Amino acid sequence: MPAIAYVDGRYVRRADAVVHIEDRGNQFADAVYEACEVHHGAIVDLRRHLDRLDRSLAELRIAPPMGRAAMTIVLREVARRNKAVNGFIYLQVSRGAAPRSHTFEAGMKPTFFVTYAASGPSEADPKYETGVAVITLPDLRWARVDIKTVGLLANALARQAAREQGAYEAFLVDADGLVTEGSTSNAWIVTAEGHLVTRPAERGILRGITRTVLLDVAAAEGVTVEERPFSVAEAKAAREVFFTSAGAILAPVVRIDDTVIANGAPGLLTARLRARYRDFTEKTIF
């Protein structure tokens, strides 16, 4: 069965899906996106993703391509037509197509497309048992990483550097030596007192959906959360380190650069929180 995409009002084979050559998403990264997990035949945390999409669009003054109810119908239909079980629905909204200019006109017609890929996190993934390594790199991104734009070149280069150094992820570090977030994730540590620490989700990091759900899990489990910056040195000395993302859920970190974290094994609190994660997600059946 061919993969099906949605592009500006039409369901088409993904191989035939196209956007205009002068779309501002292509030329200026003038676009935002969301990637919604599909787990066991349901879209995960769709409401939260659409809330964040609304915020991103508003911050960039891009008009929504349609109402939320209509968008939900489109996303469910893409999932249904692709016979989705486990994977990701990707949706992107750009400001639209126009002759190339750094300025833009009000009232442009946005470009909206949706695709599906059958690849998602698995509880059987060996990284949950062995943990992963991360490297640290300077954070070279623009200052508004709280907006989920498609301008991800610095993220991609950081993730590639991690891969080439035999690591899974890169933790990005600001000019003060403080961890901002991962190239594709939010970063967390567990202190000697058993408190969770993660950077506040202000303009310095993206408000990850998995991060948001994990805050609910921690509250239910009675775990204290400190939303504050932490340094690379504090992370290397932590009881546990992990990162959160839609693609990895909660991934334990056992090495940062050349430093082994604690005893070099995934931490117990990380495993406990991951075990409860699915209980706190929202499911949209299609």
- Tokens 């929202």 belong to which residue? 282
**Beta-sheet pairing, 259-260 with 225-227:** unpaired
Catalytic member of 83, 127, 148, 283: 148
Q: Report the C-alpha dihedral over residues 9, 11, 13, 16, rounded to 10 degrees.
A: -10
92 φψ region: left (φ > 0), alpha (ψ -120 to 50), beta (else): beta
Taking the C-alpha atoms of residue 26 and residue 98, their distance in angstroms, rounded to an integer, is 11
- Residues in the chain, overall count: 286
Taking the C-alpha atoms of residue 197 and residue 176, their distance in angstroms, rounded to an integer, is 17
Evaluate whether 146 touches 207 at the Cβ level (below 8 Å). Answer: yes
The pair phi, psi for residue 211, each rounded to 5°, is -60, -45
* Other CB atoms within 10 Å distance of the CB of residue 160: 12
DSSP reduced 3-state for 119: coil
Look up 148 and say whether it is catalytic.
Answer: yes
Rg (CA), the chain: 19
Which residue numbers are catalytic? Answer: 148
